[in-house]
Copies of this chain bind each other. A is one copy, B any other.
């Protein structure tokens, strides 16, 4: 059985490894977990003892099969709870992350199986992130960062990379959400800022925004 702290480290390592494709450094983990590098060293040594990560001194860490499976299960729980909060309890999509961070650690396989049924086996959470299935399989989705699109290309918003409340509220005030159709009207070479069109309205957005919106191009 894993403690709350251990589960959070596994989740963080999973996300980092996923984003960068490679093994993750001590500092990267410390950064993500908002803790000190020395604390991370302690923990990754413990996790290595438990065979959930492979780790060599000074060489960073990466999840073992077992570690990955635990991490994915936590993410599955997180995303299912998010669906519950939005679909059943009428939360806004920017309000659910913190609560799901707590709920994801509830230990009961039967609970998650029943919750999944109750929600009708959803494929995506309210931010467009795919929900891993019972076996930990995550359906690969072809999605592109808005920042990768060129002038005049368009697509449907299928997810957000960053999901902080502030960013989500930024999107809300501009009526951008999962399913929104977005077209690049203009793109500035110099700083990658864009003018986009969302249902007849045009907005100017910075690179920071376009790098956090996933689209399915048409």
Interface residues, chain A, CB within 8 Å of chain B? 85, 88-91, 95, 98-99, 102-103, 106-108, 110-111, 114-115, 118
Contacts and interface: CB of A to CB of B under 8 A. Distances in A.
Contact of A90 (B95, B98, B103, B114): B114
Nearest to A85: B111
Tell me whether chain A's interface is mostly helix, strand or loop, or mixed.
helix
A7 to B, nearest CB: 13
Contacts of A88: 118
Contacts of A91: 110, 114
B89 A99 contact: no
B115 A108 contact: no
Contacts of A106: 99, 102-103
A99 B107 CA distance: 8
Each complex incorporates copies of this chain amounting to 2
Contacts of A90: 114
Nearest to A106: B102
Chain A to chain B: the 9 pairs with minimum beta-carbon distance, closest first: A89-B114, A102-B106, A99-B108, A99-B111, A89-B118, A88-B118, A103-B106, A90-B114, A89-B115
Contact of A111 (B89, B108, B111, B118): B89
A194 B48 CA distance: 59
Nearest to A113: B89
A105 B91 CA distance: 19
A89 B112 CA distance: 10
19 contacts: A85-B111, A88-B118, A89-B111, A89-B114, A89-B115, A89-B118, A90-B114, A91-B110, A91-B114, A95-B110, A98-B108, A99-B106, A99-B108, A99-B111, A102-B106, A102-B107, A102-B108, A103-B103, A103-B106
